[in-house]
Structure 1
Amino acid sequence: MTRINVLHLGICILLPCVIATAASAQSTAASDDAATKLASQVCSSCHGPGGHSVSPTFPKLAAQQQAYLVAQIQAFKSGGRSEQEAHDYMLGMTTLIDDDTAAALARYFARQSPPHGVSSDPALVAAGQKLFTQGIGDRVVACASCHGDHAQGNGIFPRLAGQHAPYIVRQLKVIQGNLRNSPVMHGIIKNLTPEEMNEVAAYLQSL
């Protein structure tokens, strides 16, 4: 086989791969553009520009873990999250979001700048820090073991740093009440008291 024929064969083999890669890149770029518009025109009305929510009713999404965001969109769509807020705000919204858009939205929010912490009662923050980093004996596992030393999150484990304290408390109660399909978290926090919830939430909000 001549050198030219070998080169031609190589091009024939590689060209479909290059075309497929380019098409995929174009598709991803289009999804990202659409997600940016959706985030700025729709999501921002509740979650704030760039996911920097100012209302504790709605979580801050800025710098949130990408895998976690995708999982939550899927949970809203499937009914895996059945708390009242899910029905009131997210159920109808997420039915219009396909998998590509969900992934693109997650990428958009994940790359935003992280929220700034908000100071709280120093005693609450200190108690919450101890709970987060050390847990409570055999009763509650240290939150940092899944959510990271700085509450930055990891994959399906969400970023909690800088999140609204009232939102965190509300979600802890929702998980305790099995209104969110989160068996691992339910097992970990089932013995958490309301006072302890307020403490760890105050600490996380301060980060």
Structure 2
Amino acid sequence: MKANQKTWAGLAFGGLFAVMTTGLILSASVSAQGNTSAAPAGSMPTLDPSKLPEGVASRGARTYQATCTGCHGVVGASTQAMFPRLAGQHATYLTEQLLILRAGIRPSQIMNRVAAKLSDQNISDLAAYLSAQKVGDAWTGQNAALAGEGAKIFGGGAPERGVIACAVCHGGQGLGVNSLSIAVVRHQSPGYATDVMHEFQKLGTTGTPQSTAMYLEMKPLSDHEIDALSAYLSTMP
């Protein structure tokens, strides 16, 4: 791996769908109180993933079926292009995202309300359940030529414009890295992928190193190139 690629990979930005990840969580000025279900009234819920209890997948399955299936599908493999697929996503990434969604640090009209009702135990259980599921199958109906363009960006980047290959961090198969909270992007919902990449283009450089890395990665890309990446991610062979 070239030196500049190592530098980018070392940022360990939390994948295509993180606005803010570990760097923000661990520096947030809140008190980690452990499991919110047992925390004293009025105490702040934790933002530190290390303070969460161990997750139980069977319990997470019950929470998921009661809370999440309407948007994300029966086992997290959404069939609606506007909603992200969660099946097979890394537990580290899921935990971090649910924590910042619960705290309102990552804005989402729907998910802020949903996550606000989750205890620390709920979050750990959901992460354990979803990470154990199989990544969903490839999406159909995508433009093959467009996906081919996206494959070139994913695998080779656009070095002349400072765009590194997405595969440097997310891996050649788009499976990310659990230990670094780098998200699985393989067979992600095409509409959601497009929307979030456009969101990254608006972030600027005032956030965490992770969010800044994604801003710099997305900023040079045209709408057509983002559509191409989305088509490829959703149909990766």
Residues 90-99 or 125-134, more deviating: 90-99
Q: Does 1:58 align with 2:83?
A: yes
Determine which structure has more spread, i.e. the larger CA radius of gyration: 1
Give, in angstroms, the shift of residue 186 of structure 1.
1.2
Q: Which residue in 2 is equivalent to 1:136?
A: 158
For residues 88-144 of structure 1, give each alpha carbon's deviation from its aligned partner in whole angstroms, at most 9, with x where no partner exists.
x11111112122221221111111011101242121111100100000014211001
Q: Which residue in 2 is equivalent to 1:23?
A: none
Whole-angstrom distance in 1 between the partners of 2:93 and 2:128: 11
The structure with the largest helix share of the pair is 1
The alignment covers a number of residue pairs equal to 176
Give, in angstroms, the shift of residue 193 of structure 1.
1.1
For residues 134-191 of structure 1, give each alpha carbon's deviation from its aligned partner in whole angstroms, at most 9, with x where no partner exists.
0001421100111111001112111111111111010001121229972221122111
Whole-angstrom distance in 1 between the partners of 2:54 and 2:235: 36
Whole-angstrom distance in 1 between the partners of 2:139 and 2:70: 22
Query: 4+ residue stretches of structure 1 with deviation over 4 A?
Result: none
Q: Which residue in 2 is equivalent to 1:113?
A: 134
Q: Does 1:70 align with 2:95?
A: yes
- The one-letter amino acid of 1:105's match is L
Q: Pick one of 167, 172, 176 that aligns with 1:149.
A: 172
Give, in angstroms, the shift of residue 59 of structure 1.
0.6
- The one-letter amino acid of 1:202's match is A
- Name structure 1 gaps, 5 residues minimum: 1-26
Q: Does 1:196 align with 2:225?
A: yes
Q: What does 1:1-150 align with in structure 2 at a 5 Å threshold?
A: 28=54, 31-82=56-107, 86-87=108-109, 89-119=110-140, 120-139=142-161, 140-150=163-173
Identity %: 27
Whole-angstrom distance in 1 between the partners of 2:54 and 2:102: 22
Give, in angstroms, the shift of residue 28 of structure 1.
4.6
For the aligned residue pairs, the C-alpha RMSD in angstroms reads 1.9
Give, in angstroms, the shift of residue 57 of structure 1.
1.9
